[in-house]
Amino acid sequence: MLAAWPGRVASATPELLASVTYFVAWFAPASLPGELLRSLVLAMLVEFLVVHSSVFLSVFLYTGVPGLRHPVLVVLGIAVLYMTFAGAIGLALHSWMPVWIIGWLIGSRVLTLLVDPRGREGEPGRQRALWVAGAVCYLLLAFATALPPIPAFGLDEAARARMALPGEGLWIDEPQRPIAMGAFYFGLLALVELFDWGVPAPRLQAPPAPRLRT
């Protein structure tokens, strides 16, 4: 059990760093560049693609992909597909930031496979647990931050002007909503990876029955 903790901590580090960054953006946005603040809002839109890709990731890791034996190659193949969608979003927004964001988000999945491998038997179960946790947290927090008033804290008029968010809508007019969502969302995902919440225990194979001598 203790031997697994270094891998779990390393696996949860990208989500933990993302959560801390969102909290800093929420309470002290002046300490971050305007481009990064704008990217944090955009990242919550792109994260929906990452949650969606986790479905295919768990399926492919369970059934296997012809010619791709290593799980990292499966993730990279899915990353190419979804980075194409992110590129389309970037063209619409005249920014390559969505591509970099989804590269960071999916890259954290690659890091999980590298630093905390579970093998062919255990990896599909973990990916399904991460997908369920991501989808549930995303939907619940989207509603939780959309309905009640969310305090702006440091995101005042000056901070919103530095963000220069294009378009209009609830997230554009009140960026503290996606920022708060990201702070709690990535924090919860870090806890899921750290403590293996919802991840099924590996099956223990029964020892072979002794052969009777005749």
d(CA 39, CA 36) in angstroms, rounded, equals: 5
Q: Break the chain into its structural domains and give their ranges.
A: 2-195
pLDDT tens readout for residues 37-61 = 988 998 888 787 777 666 565 555 5
pLDDT number for residue 202: 55
Provide the phi-psi class of 142: left if phi over 0, else alpha when psi is between -120 and 50, else beta: alpha
pLDDT number for residue 201: 61
pLDDT number for residue 2: 45
pLDDT number for residue 23: 97
Q: Pick the closest to residue 51 from 111, 108, 117, 116 (CA basis).
A: 108
pLDDT tens readout for residues 104-120 = 777 777 677 677 766 66
d(CA 65, CA 70) in angstroms, rounded, equals: 9
- Answer yes or no: is pLDDT of 3 > 50: no
pLDDT number for residue 157: 93
| Mean pLDDT, the chain, integer | 78
pLDDT number for residue 204: 45
CB 101 within 8 A of CB 42: yes
pLDDT tens readout for residues 65-100 = 455 556 566 666 677 777 787 788 777 767 777 777
- Torsion sign over Cα 92, 95, 99, 105: negative
d(CA 28, CA 15) in angstroms, rounded, equals: 19
pLDDT number for residue 206: 46
DSSP secondary-structure letter at 116?
S
pLDDT number for residue 187: 95
Tokens standing for residue 154:
């440091």
From 1-5, 14-18, 85-89, 155-159, the region with the lowest mean pLDDT: 1-5
pLDDT tens readout for residues 137-191 = 999 999 999 999 999 999 999 999 999 887 788 999 999 999 999 999 999 999 9
Q: In Å, how far from its chain's centre is CA 152?
A: 24
- The arithmetic mean of pLDDT across residues 18-28, rounded, is 96
pLDDT number for residue 1: 46
Q: Pick the closest to residue 22 from 165, 189, 181, 156 (CA basis).
A: 181
Q: Which residues of 26-63 are buried (b: 16+ CB within 10 A; e: fewer)?
A: beebeebeeeebbbbbbbbebbebbbebbebbbbbbee
